Structure 1
Amino acid sequence: MLFRRRKPADVWERTRTLFWPRRSFWRSAQYYAKRVLRLTATPHAIAAGIAAGVFVSFLPFLGFHFILAAVLAWVLAGNLIASAIGTAIGNPLTFPLIWGSTYKLGCFILGSHDASDGIHFGRLLGHFEFWQLWDPVLKPMVAGAIPIGMAFALGFYLVTRWSVVTFRHERQRRLAERATRRAALSRAHAGAVARG
């Protein structure tokens, strides 16, 4: 491979870059944006895939985000690769904000009180008693995730669709200008050969 590292990354380096990119978060965001803009699908399919991934990222079902995003993207006629990229909105830096906001909104929607203080998460997870987490924690998080996730998904859909349409329009304009310049140079060269 042309740009392979001389020294392969060890486990520590891969773990560190998972939480903190080597260059910067802005550069990583630009990379993902370029990947999305260059997908070969309709603007609706790309935007629907991104929206599906963003929506699923708000659900508390860790480990199933890719699968759920792919299913939702398929239902919405979205791009599956875009749905996987859209799940990047849920990451170790944003999950505390997402989980806190969905839990609080879910408690408000369901009219329940904050029961997280009386739950011993270590004991429940240590004994694999996940079903006991449903009523006090997961149910409010799902209830809160639906409106917040839909709002963010709609916003990402609109921005992504507009960005893809604009990117493709500008790309076609640049290609047309380049073709016009080449044709003009070709005509000028042919005229010089005819005169010479």
Structure 2
Amino acid sequence: MGWTRAFHYVKHRVNRLPDQPHRIARGVFAGVLVSFTPFFGLHFASAALIAWLMRGNILAALLATFFGNPITFPIIAVGSTTLGHLILGNRIDPDHPDSLAETFAAAGHDLSHNFYAIFTDEVAHWDGLRGFFAEVWLPYLVGGLIPGIISGIVCYYISLPLITAYQNRRRMKLKARLEKLRAKLPQRHKDKPASDDSDLG
């Protein structure tokens, strides 16, 4: 229920952005694309940069990064990493299902050890981080680009007509309100001279 409410909130905010539909749709493309990359912690900055380069709406790009969420991230991560290994020609050893967890653990150990080494005489270790880059981060990046671009294009072409239709409806409603106000103004002007003439008589 919470994620449904969040989805409708993001959709509502994107629709109400005061910008041209094609610029908003470009921002949506940028945000969705970035959701397929391993730049965790930098998704907002990356989406804003891509939207700026594409002359898209930056706020729409930031909102569209919510395409990546706790529900979709596991699917994106597994799919992107697997595809990346295939593209890079890496062999995934089925006899070691815990290798991914071991890679994360080794990288985490190197990070904590190297931070400790800054303040001591310990020698920094990089083997775990190199393994993480080669076995996880790089395949994730390479494998995420293709589905990210495809998903971004799909979301662009879905959002563009929806945003255009929404803005047209808002414009028509605003026009109808203005016409009602204009219709009331002549009636007031007609009543005013009549009262003035009676006073003069």
Which residue of the partner structure matches residue 142 of structure 1? Answer: 141
On the 8 A contact 2:29/2:153 being kept in 1, the answer is: yes
Which residue of the partner structure matches residue 123 of structure 1? Answer: 106
2:73 & 2:129 partners in 1: Cα distance? 19
Which residue of the partner structure matches residue 57 of structure 2? Answer: 79
1:68 & 1:178 partners in 2: Cα distance? 41
Point out which structure has higher relative CO (alpha carbons under 8 A, 6+ apart): 2
Q: CA deviation at 1:99?
A: 0.2
Which residue of the partner structure matches residue 31 of structure 1? Answer: 9
Q: CA deviation at 1:123?
A: 2.5
Q: CA deviation at 1:182?
A: 2.5
1:55 to 30, 33, 37: 33
Letter of the 1:103 counterpart: T
Q: CA deviation at 1:190?
A: 4.6
Letter of the 2:180 counterpart: R
1:54 & 1:183 partners in 2: Cα distance? 44
Q: CA deviation at 1:192?
A: 5.7
1:104 to 76, 82, 85: 82
* Residue 155, structure 1, aligned to residue 159, structure 2: no
For normalisation by structure 2, the TM-score amounts to 0.77
Once the two structures are superposed, what CA deviation does each residue of 1:19-75 show, in whole Å capped at 9, x if it has no partner? xxxx62222211111111121222222111111111011001211111111111111
Mark the runs of 5 or more structure 2 residues left unpaired by the alignment: 112-127, 196-201
Aligned residues: 174
Report which of the two structures shows the higher radius of gyration computed on alpha carbons: 2
Which residue of the partner structure matches residue 179 of structure 2? Answer: 180
For normalisation by structure 1, the TM-score amounts to 0.79
1:143 & 1:194 partners in 2: Cα distance? 76
Mark the runs of 5 or more structure 1 residues left unpaired by the alignment: 1-22
Letter of the 1:79 counterpart: N
Q: Specify the SS of the correspondent of 2:140.
A: helix
Letter of the 2:136 counterpart: V
Which residue of the partner structure matches residue 46 of structure 1? Answer: 24
Q: Specify the SS of the correspondent of 1:127.
A: helix
Q: Percent identity?
A: 30
On the 8 A contact 2:106/2:129 being kept in 1, the answer is: no
Once the two structures are superposed, what CA deviation does each residue of 1:115-174 show, in whole Å capped at 9, x if it has no partner? 573341213212223232122122221121111000110011112221221111111111
1:171 & 1:177 partners in 2: Cα distance? 10
Q: CA deviation at 1:77?
A: 0.7
Q: CA deviation at 1:179?
A: 1.9
Q: Specify the SS of the correspondent of 2:19.
A: coil
